[in-house]
């Protein structure tokens, strides 16, 4: 079998990392690391981090060449070798991964692949890159430093902002817009028709979807996620929103800035989600309701009405061994009658007492 070329090695001196990350270095600035790893899998070539105090026992035993810790764990870290001291080690780790990629990732040449089908009426910034076999239609606008991956489709009149990156096989529909520095993963479909029909004599009459999708800056959208175009106005995703894979955003939805929705979450039509909200995996919101800012929904929990107070909300049937579940689920169907029986018992008691 042929040799698979590995990524070119990424190597940093600790002194350089301290400078770039704004962290204090304990140790030799010339020492290098070439890998990021968790505390227990790290070796001398790796840099690791401690963000969750429950992994503290792993810190002392870690073979990592360097560890990122908070000032609190400075001494423990220093006892075992080099350390970077940062106020927020997890944030420092996040930025470390960004440095890693910035160095390791090959720069993408600002060129349009000759196999791409680009309409003469499309507007590409000089620094935009378009991958092989992509299609860009009339009037689409591709920004400076923007990367359209291979086999993407950009519809007529759509715009993709500066430095936004689309992975392979993204569908970005006509007259939809995304701002700067976005990341859109493969299989995403932006701007399919919202699900709108008027019932008529047992059939469904299509309501054509005349709105678009408007996405802000710094938005990331996970693989195979769908954001439908609005019926009359636009579906809106504000700045800094993060959507995971296989998420469903129906027409006319509005998602406030910096909210994050985990995998398979779903938001029904015309619902408004505030800023800084989170939805855990598979959480949902029904249509035509409003969630305030800072509302958090637990895994698979469905908001069936508006929620005006910030906080964590949950609605999930607790898992159990199947035999126990069967008994409890069967009883659940009689729960209302059980309450009546309790009430009857209470009345009976009162009568006897009086």
Q: For residue 220, what are the β-bridge partners?
A: 183, 242
Binders in 61-90 for a copy of itself, by CB under 8 A? 88, 90
Check residue 262 for interaction with a copy of itself (CB under 8 A). Answer: yes
Distance CA(187)–CA(223), nearest Å, equals: 5
Check residue 289 for interaction with a copy of itself (CB under 8 A). Answer: no
In the list 16, 63, 276, 290, the residue contacting a copy of itself (rule: CB under 8 A) is: 276
Q: For residue 236, what are the β-bridge partners?
A: 214, 254
Check residue 226 for interaction with a copy of itself (CB under 8 A). Answer: yes
Check residue 109 for interaction with a copy of itself (CB under 8 A). Answer: no
How many angstroms separate the Cα of 154 from the Cα of each of 191, 277, 279?
Answer: 11, 30, 29
Check residue 245 for interaction with a copy of itself (CB under 8 A). Answer: yes
The smaller minimum CB distance to a copy of itself, of residues 13 and 183, is found at: 183
**Residue 216 has which token pair?**
């802000």
CA dihedral 82, 86, 91, 95 (to 10 degrees): -60
Check residue 54 for interaction with a copy of itself (CB under 8 A). Answer: no
Check residue 139 for interaction with a copy of itself (CB under 8 A). Answer: yes
The smaller minimum CB distance to a copy of itself, of residues 164 and 245, is found at: 245
Q: Kindly indicate which of the ranges 14-22, 34-42, 55-63, 66-74 contains the residues binding a copy of itself, using the contact rule CB under 8 A.
A: 34-42
Binders in 201-220 for a copy of itself, by CB under 8 A? 202-210, 218, 220
The smaller minimum CB distance to a copy of itself, of residues 75 and 339, is found at: 339
Residue of 177, 251, 254, 258 marked active site: 251
The sheet with strand 153-154 has its strands ordered as: 117-118, 135-136, 153-154, 171-172, 189-190, 226-227, 248-249, 266-267, 284-285, 302-303
Distance CA(334)–CA(130), nearest Å, equals: 61
Check residue 34 for interaction with a copy of itself (CB under 8 A). Answer: no
Contact 299, 279 (CB under 8 A): no
Contact 228, 213 (CB under 8 A): yes
In the list 75, 94, 103, 111, the residue contacting a copy of itself (rule: CB under 8 A) is: 94
Check residue 126 for interaction with a copy of itself (CB under 8 A). Answer: no
In the complex, the smallest distance separating the C-beta of residue 333 from a copy of itself, rounded to whole angstroms, is 6
Contact 288, 271 (CB under 8 A): yes
* Residue 282 φ/ψ, nearest 5 degrees: 70, 5
Check residue 313 for interaction with a copy of itself (CB under 8 A). Answer: yes
In the complex, the smallest distance separating the C-beta of residue 194 from a copy of itself, rounded to whole angstroms, is 9
Contact 208, 170 (CB under 8 A): no
Among 207, 250, 198, smallest CA distance to 229 is for 250
The smaller minimum CB distance to a copy of itself, of residues 19 and 94, is found at: 94
In the complex, the smallest distance separating the C-beta of residue 203 from a copy of itself, rounded to whole angstroms, is 5
Neighbours of 319 (CB within 10 A): 8
276 is catalytic: no
Q: Kindly indicate which of the ranges 25-33, 56-64, 76-84, 339-347 contains the residues binding a copy of itself, using the contact rule CB under 8 A.
A: 339-347
Strand 117-118 to strand 135-136: parallel, antiparallel, or no bridges (unpaired)?
A: parallel
* Residue 291 φ/ψ, nearest 5 degrees: -110, 130
Check residue 242 for interaction with a copy of itself (CB under 8 A). Answer: yes
Q: Kindly indicate which of the ranges 14-22, 66-74, 75-83, 300-308 contains the residues binding a copy of itself, using the contact rule CB under 8 A.
A: 300-308
Check residue 271 for interaction with a copy of itself (CB under 8 A). Answer: no
Binders in 163-202 for a copy of itself, by CB under 8 A? 167-169, 171, 173, 175, 183, 185-187, 189, 192-193, 195-198, 200, 202
Active site residues: 251
């Amino acid at each position: 079998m042929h040799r698979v070329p590995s990524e070119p090695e990424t190597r940093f001196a600790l002194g350089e990392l301290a400078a770039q990350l704004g962290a204090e270095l304990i140790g030799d600035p010339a020492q290098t690391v070439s890998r990021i790893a968790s505390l227990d899998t790290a070796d001398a070539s790796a840099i690791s981090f401690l963000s969750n105090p429950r992994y503290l026992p792993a810190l002392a035993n870690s073979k990592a060449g360097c560890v990122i810790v908070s000032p609190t764990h400075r001494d423990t870290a220093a006892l075992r070798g080099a350390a970077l001291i940062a106020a927020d080690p997890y944030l420092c780790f996040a930025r470390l991964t960004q440095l890693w990629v910035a160095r390791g990732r090959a720069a993408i040449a600002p060129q349009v692949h000759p196999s791409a089908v680009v309409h003469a009426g499309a507007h590409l910034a000089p620094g935009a890159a378009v991958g092989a076999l992509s299609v860009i239609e009339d009037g689409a606008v591709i920004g400076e430093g923007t990367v359209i991956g291979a086999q993407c489709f950009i519809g007529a009149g759509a715009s993709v902002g500066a430095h936004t990156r689309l992975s392979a096989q993204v569908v970005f529909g006509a007259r939809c817009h995304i701002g700067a520095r976005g990341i859109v993963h493969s299989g995403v479909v932006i701007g399919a028709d919202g699900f709108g029909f008027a019932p008529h004599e047992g059939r469904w009459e299509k309501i054509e979807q005349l709105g678009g999708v408007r996405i802000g800056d710094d938005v990331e959208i996970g693989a195979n996620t769908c954001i439908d175009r609005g019926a009359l106005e636009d579906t809106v995703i504000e700045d800094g929103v993060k959507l995971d894979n296989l998420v469903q955003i129906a027409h006319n939805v509005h998602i406030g800035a910096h909210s994050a929705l985990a995998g398979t979450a779903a938001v029904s039509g015309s619902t408004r989600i505030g800023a800084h909200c989170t939805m855990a995996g598979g959480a949902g919101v029904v249509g035509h309701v409003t969630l305030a800012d800072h509302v958090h929904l637990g895994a698979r929990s469905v908001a069936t009405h508006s929620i005006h107070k910030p906080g964590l909300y949950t609605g999930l049937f607790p898992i159990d061994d199947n035999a126990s579940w069967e008994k409890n689920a069967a009883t659940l169907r009689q729960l209302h009658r059980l309450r009546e029986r309790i009430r009857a018992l209470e009345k009976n008691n009162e009568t006897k007492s009086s």
